[in-house]
């Protein structure tokens, strides 16, 4: 799993680049504007609507396939190592290092209070069930710049 704030920001950048779509983050989260078709039309070969579905919608919390381990993107290498040991896999994991060069150092630098609320509403299930929070790493100067924009 991945922090919903980091996931939404990363997916927004990825879909713009991968699908060559330009649009606002609000349009992305609301699945409207230039993002409408790629996020809503599952008959389209370019469909990427799974990027705006809560991660927990893919999980079985109570039934026959209840999970006994959930790995986190934030500790991916350690969690893969833990799984490899549990499963008796000897092959080392090579960390996924594709990083968008246009990406800010931390997701919190991207968000305004409005876009933060939008993600909190859209992914409230993930935030609650997976115990994620918004980790605000903006400095006072960053916050002041946002206010003055």
Q: Can you spell out the DSSP letters for 31-64?
A: T-GGGHHHHH-TTSTT--GGGGS-GGGG--SSST
Instruction: Give the pLDDT confidence score for residue 96 in this predicted structure.
Output: 64
For residue 29, pLDDT over 70 is answered with yes
Residue 98's pLDDT band, with cuts at 50, 70 and 90, is low
Cα dihedral across residues 121, 109, 136, 57: positive or negative: positive
| Sequence-separated (6 or more) residues with CB below 8 Å from residue 142 | 109
Mean pLDDT of 13-20: 93
């Amino acid at each position: 799993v991945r922090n919903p704030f980091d996931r939404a920001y990363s997916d927004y950048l990825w879909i713009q680049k991968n699908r060559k779509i330009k649009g606002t983050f609000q349009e992305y989260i609301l699945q409207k504007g230039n993002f409408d078709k790629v996020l809503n039309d599952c008959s389209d070969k370019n469909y990427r609507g799974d990027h705006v579905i809560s991660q927990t919608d893919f999980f079985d919390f109570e039934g026959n396939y209840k999970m006994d381990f959930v790995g986190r993107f934030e500790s991916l290498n350690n969690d893969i190592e833990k799984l490899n040991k549990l499963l008796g896999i000897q092959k080392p994991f090579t960390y996924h290092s594709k990083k968008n060069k246009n990406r800010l150092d931390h997701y919190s630098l991207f968000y305004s209070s409005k876009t933060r609320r939008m993600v909190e509403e859209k992914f409230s299930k993930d935030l609650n069930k997976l115990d994620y929070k918004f980790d605000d790493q903006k400095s006072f100067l960053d916050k002041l710049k946002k206010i003055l924009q």
